[in-house]
Amino acid sequence: MKITGFTLLLLLMLFGSNLSAQNRVYVTTRNNNSSEGYSGLNIGLGIGGYYGYYGYIGHTTPVISANYEFDVAPSFTLAPFVTYLSYQDQSSGGYYYHESVIPLGVKGTYYLDRLLNANSDWDFYLAGSLGFTLVHTRWDDGTVYATDHTVNPLFLDLHLGAEYHLSNKVGLFLDLSTGVSTIGLAFH
């Protein structure tokens, strides 16, 4: 229960100050040769577990991710993000455990639309994410053991992505990453 409350508090801290900006958005898409006032909420699903935010788990697991993107310079945005994955595994000693993993950080994105002379329906980008990972482990027998993998709480990931704008307000995106690749919806 503490992890749920802590997660909700972090989400409010990350996104709470930016949510009021949604009413003041003057630009509806990234690719209109203007960067003033752009903001968007991106929600994606992915599959992770072999590499990425948490390192090697040894099997795939579903991942959900959300970020709130806003302009900081022409063709460049920042996006505070939160990701969540959870899985159950067995240690080499035969004990079962359940882990919840919550990567938090910021993603810096450079849009290539002007360089590529992209159609206004498309956005193309390169990005990098910097963050840290919160991990909560719960053992089925109530005892505390180390898991079979080590954790580096800090991470740096690289991204290559594209978004197709279904309308001025909604788009579909694909984000290929050295961390966890996602596909999802973008709300502008």
> Can you point out the beta strands (E) in the chain?
39-48, 61-73, 76-90, 96-111, 122-139, 154-165, 170-177, 182-187
The predicted pLDDT at position 164 comes to 97
Q: Which residues contact 81 (CB under 8 A, 6 or more apart)?
A: 14, 65, 66, 67, 68, 103, 104, 105, 106, 107, 129, 131
The predicted pLDDT at position 173 comes to 98
Q: What is the mean pLDDT of residues 95-124?
A: 92
Quick: pLDDT tens for 8-43: 444 444 443 333 333 323 333 454 444 456 799 999
The predicted pLDDT at position 97 comes to 81
Quick: pLDDT tens for 163-181: 999 999 999 999 998 888 8
Q: What is the mean pLDDT of residues 112-129?
A: 95
Quick: pLDDT tens for 132-164: 888 888 888 776 655 555 556 788 899 999 999
Entry pTM: 0.74
More confident residue, 142 or 6: 142
Number of domains within the chain: 1
Q: What is the CATH number of the domain that holds 31?
A: 2.40.160.20
Quick: pLDDT tens for 53-84: 555 566 778 999 999 999 999 999 999 999 99
Q: Is the pLDDT of residue 4 over 70?
A: no
Range of the domain at 115: 2-18+25-187
